[in-house]
Structure 1
Amino acid sequence: MAHSTGLGTPAQLADPNYTPPLAKAVPLGIQHVLAMFVSNVTPAIIVCGAAGFGFGSNSPDFPQMIYMIQMSMFFAGIATLFQTIGVGPVGARLPIVQGTSFAFIPIMIPLVAGKGVDAIAVLMGGILVGGLFHATLGLFIGRLRFALPPLVTGLVVTMIGLALVKVGVQYAAGGVPAIGTPDYGSLMNWTMAGTVILVTLALKFFARGMISVSAVLIGLLAGYGVALMMGQVSFASVGRAAPFALPDPLHFGLEFSVAAIVGFCLMGIVSAVETVGDVSGICKGGAGREATDKEIQGATFADGLGTAVSGLFGALPNTSFSQNVGLIAMTGVMSRHVVTIGGLFLILCGLMPKVGAIISTVPIEVLGGGVIVMFGMVVAAGISMLSDVTWNRRNMVIFAIALSLGLGLQLEPEALQHLPQTLKVLATSGILPAAAIAIVLNLILPEELAAEATEEISGSLSGQGKGSMPGE
């Protein structure tokens, strides 16, 4: 049991204000960082790659990617401190780890695709406004939850994963710049990516404790080792990186675009709902109680403020990290001060560009292996949320239409070539149309349809009724 390790009594461990002995609190804090580290820096690499800069230490814009990686760490730490320490109404004062959000990537990629480093200013404008909008949701987040049942939230999370799996495969095969070249999809590329996938799966299924939690990180290290042996790693950028550097205000500039602002504001609603779920999970798993309205409001304020501040310094949107919620349930340590230590460690890493430079030496194929696993897990998380849905005629119709149009428009964006550019970017993201359709249909379709039995529709589809799937 947790209290036999010298961490404290069960009552102390369930208290967010309790601090375990420092010799144990520091490793626990760093453990939180290890659990989220890869997921936190990956969005910066993906966005830079989509914009068409950063890869290859000889690229003139390569330092810009190192800077964005650096800021991903620094502002994940700052946003985490907003949550754990709090400032006035901002912060839940709970052990919530903040980090760069995958959810916004499908919105960001169309905004920057192939446009180079200058396009990042549009993202920063959207992140700033979207973050401020996100923060205001804290005033009435409780009243929004009725419009976002598991049918909607599960669909959105599933769509986020489906929108990103293509990126993982492209990276594993050699990256977008390599498409069309003889090396794209080579055995060497897939060997590096495959090593990551196999090691990650092995540790997830056969290891326990922190090794299992850090499976993706260890898998990446294994793939990195294979890449080293193959001569695919260059350390030229590490020597050129400064040992210490402060954040640079408005590093990429600010440019305000309607598409970016609308996209980030709408995804801010999704992120806020995700944070509400994480706060509830932390309180339930760590303290065996429900989250208070004050905690939920404070967490939402911190979520939005952390995102807005990130946009001013060239970092990407922040949100609460669900994998750390599971870590709290696993360790049984509810202390917010443990997570504060983790936040300080992230800030320290963000002040050292050499850390970002080392991360940038990871070959794109190795990262692709990790990304395939991570994005697949996002899809799985969405499907898990959908398992709470009662699959009657009404809900199946809502899901079918939202998924078909959302995924279809994402796969075939030219179907909307006559729309204004702003609307086209939003509509072909996949996530926003799917979410909008699901929310609207869920609110307007009569509940009488919900009385229809699931067996009726299953029977009409198969002609045989329930339980007639092949192999049953």
Structure 2
Amino acid sequence: MSTETKKLDNALFDLNGKPSYKQAFPLALQHVVAMIVGCVTPAIIIGGMAMDSGEITAADMTILVQSALLIAGIATLMQLASWKHRIGSGLPVIMGVSFAYLASLQGITEQFDLATLFGATLVGGVVAVLVGIFIKRLLFLFPPLVTGTVVFVIGVTLYPTAVKYMAGGAGSENYGSWQNWVVALITLAVVTVLNHCTKGITKLASILIGMVVGYIVAIFFGLVDFSAVAQANWIQFTEPVHFGLKFEASSIITMAILYTINSVQAIGDFTATTDGGMDRVPTEQELSGGIIGNGLASMIGAVIGGLPTATFSQNVGIVTTTKVVAKRVFYMASGMIIIAGLIPKFASALTTIPSCVLGGATISVFASITMTGIKLIAKSELTARNTAIVGLGVALGVGVTLVPETLAAFPQWVTLIFGKSAVVLATIITVVLNQILPKDVEETAV
């Protein structure tokens, strides 16, 4: 191996290294492949709800998907090009639209409209900035026991969404048909086999490959409609505030709580990135700047029609596996994501993915989220106190949202905050119980 080649190879493992573009491109593409489906799926789900209610058109749906990609690329760029780590972490991370907000976004869209959703997202971004500024003082509220319970509830509450999509999407003409289930199960089978029986790019891109296979099968079943793609433009810039902005108190409170939770979750991803890729822990400035950067990105997203962003754990996994941390790779990835977001034809093609394919692919993602929560919970000793905190948080959080009519006698805002999002209620309960239940009494593990 020549000295020049060694230099380039080593540059891939240096944060400020400058590997050749030939080396960096496939690694950047790998990150894009790993995140793109997860990034656009929440936008497709929320857009589908808005279309079913008659609020938006197919063209608006394309804009939602475009904006999801745009804000993901912008948020990633902001993290990389940090200003003295005060805005942006300066770490090699990929940002994207997060599933963690999905259940609450569905509740807001169902009860109000997209304008209210984006108004709450804008204010939520402000809250994230404040959390970033004061993060050191807030960490005591969110030990692994609490964050693990919250992450577990996020995963569990997303299961109905995945199953409904596997059946074809609630309200569709062929909902529950055998064709939908066949496509969904084939997609799930491919994802599962590739994820557990292969290595390298096929393992990392298992969800994408599974969706491609499911998509092809769906075409043979006549489940794919390409008419929207033909009508879409090649290049289009998103119109600011296209969906409007409305500010409603209960929606804002819900999003503020979720942004706080996900800011704390981001610390885990930043830590995993530096530990796995650079053998160190992140500095307080990097953590603070990363959360502030994400808050500002989400505020921009609310203006251009992008849903809330977060660090993408699958991309963190790539970093810890490959040890490639050179910013040049991630700058290239962010550029690819932004370019994809400027091409309506591409965004429109993504909206043609049938619901059954999305359901078959995402149920494994939701299962992974749930198991991540369990792993976090298991970091704490399962004493009577800790199991009570977890059990009550899950029981009340999930239980109330399964029967929201039990809150019918209360004002509407109570139903939205506590009856639509199990995550919000579970967070409040676990945080409060963890602070008030005595910790100085010796307990027997159960």
- Please give the TM-score of this superposition, normalised by the length of structure 1: 0.90
Alignment of 1:145 onto 2:145: no
Output the CA distance in 1 between the equivalents of 2:390 and 2:14. Answer: 40
Which residue pairs with 1:21 in the alignment?
20
**Residue equivalent to 1:228:** 219
- The Cα shift of 1:9 comes to 5.5
Deviations 1:114-163 (CA, angstroms, capped at 9, x unpaired): 76xxx100011001111011012111112211111111101111111111
Counterpart check, 1:177 vs 2:174: no
Structure 1: stretches of 5+ with no match in the other structure: 459-472
Match of 2:93 in 1: 96
Which residue among 43, 62, 71 is the counterpart of 2:67?
71
Question: What are the Cα deviations for residues 3-51 of structure 1, in whole angstroms up to 9, with x where unaligned?
Answer: 99857455x4443111221101111111111111111001111112233
- The residue type equivalent to 1:85 in the other structure is A
Change (3 A) 1:401 1:422: same
Matches within 5 A, 1:389-468: 389-428=380-419, 429-449=421-441, 451-454=442-445, 458=446
Q: Determine helix, strand or coil for the equivalent of 1:95.
A: coil
The Cα offsets for residues 228-268 of structure 1, whole Å up to 9 and x where unpaired, read as 12222121111100000012111101000101111111101
3-state SS in 1 of match to 2:171:
helix
Aligned letter for 1:48? Answer: G
Instruction: Return the alpha-carbon distance in structure 1 between the equivalents of residues 216 and 411 of structure 2.
Output: 47
Tell me, what secondary structure is at the counterpart of 2:96? strand
2:193 counterpart (202, 209, 230): 202
What amino acid is aligned across from residue 155 of structure 1 in structure 2? T
CA distance in 2, matches of 1:335, 1:383: 32
Displacement of 1:358:
0.6
Contact 1:36–1:324 (8 Å) recurs in 2: yes
Task: State the SS of the aligned residue for 2:310.
Answer: strand
Change (3 A) 1:54 1:192: farther
Mark the CA change 1:440 to 1:341 in structure 2 (over 3 Å): closer, same or farther.
same
How far apart, in 2, do the equivalents of 1:205 and 1:4 lie?
A: 37
Q: Take 1:101 and 1:248, find their aligned partners in 2: how far apart are those partners?
A: 22
State how far apart, in whole Å, the 1-side matches of 2:273 and 2:163 are.
33
1:329 aligns with 2:320: yes
Give the letter for the 1:93 counterpart: G
- How many angstroms apart in 2 are the aligned matches of 1:26 and 1:453? 54
Taking the aligned partners of 1:218 and 1:376, their CA distance within structure 2 comes to 18
Cα offset for 1:106? 1.4
Q: Give the residue type in structure 2 aligned to 1:361.
A: T
C-alpha distance in 2 between matches for 1:159 and 1:374: 14
1:212 alignment counterpart: 203
SS of corresponding position for 2:52: coil
Partner of residue 105, structure 1:
102
Deviates more, 1:79-88 or 1:436-445: 79-88
1:38 paired residue number = 37
Q: Is the 8 A contact 1:50 1:113 kept in 2?
A: yes
Whole-angstrom distance in 1 between the partners of 2:237 and 2:190? 36
Contact preservation (8 Å) 1:51, 1:109? no
Which blocks of at least 5 consecutive residues in structure 2 are unaligned? none
1:377-392 to structure 2, matched below 5 A, reads: 377-392=368-383
Distance in 1, matches of 2:4 and 2:384, equals 51
| Cα distance in 2 for residues equivalent to 1:412 and 1:191 | 31
CA–CA distance in structure 2, aligned partners of residues 66 and 13 of structure 1: 36
211-220 vs 231-240, which moves further? 231-240
> 1:41 is paired with a residue of what secondary structure?
helix
Residue type at the aligned position of 1:447: K
State which drifts further: 235-244 or 136-145.
136-145
CA distance in 2, matches of 1:355, 1:171: 22
| Structure 1 residue 60 displacement after superposition | 6.7
Residue 86 of structure 2 corresponds to residue 85 of structure 1: no
> 1:146/1:8 Cα in 2 relative to 1: closer, same or farther (>3 Å)?
farther
Tell me the residue number matched to 2:157.
163
- How far off its partner does 1:337 sit? 2.0
SS of match in other structure, 2:230: helix
For residues 359-413 of structure 1, give each alpha carbon's deviation from its aligned partner in whole angstroms, at most 9, with x where no partner exists: 0111111111112111111111111212212100110111111111101011110
Count of aligned residue pairs for this structure pair: 442
Please say if residues 51 and 57 of structure 2, whose CA atoms lie closer than 8 Å, have aligned partners that are also in contact: no
Deviating more after overlay: 225-234 vs 64-73: 225-234
Contact 2:233 2:344 in 1 (8 A): yes
Displacement after TM superposition at 1:271 (Å): 1.1
Residue identity matched to 2:92: P
1:113 aligned counterpart, secondary structure = helix
Match of 1:136 among 117, 122, 130: 130
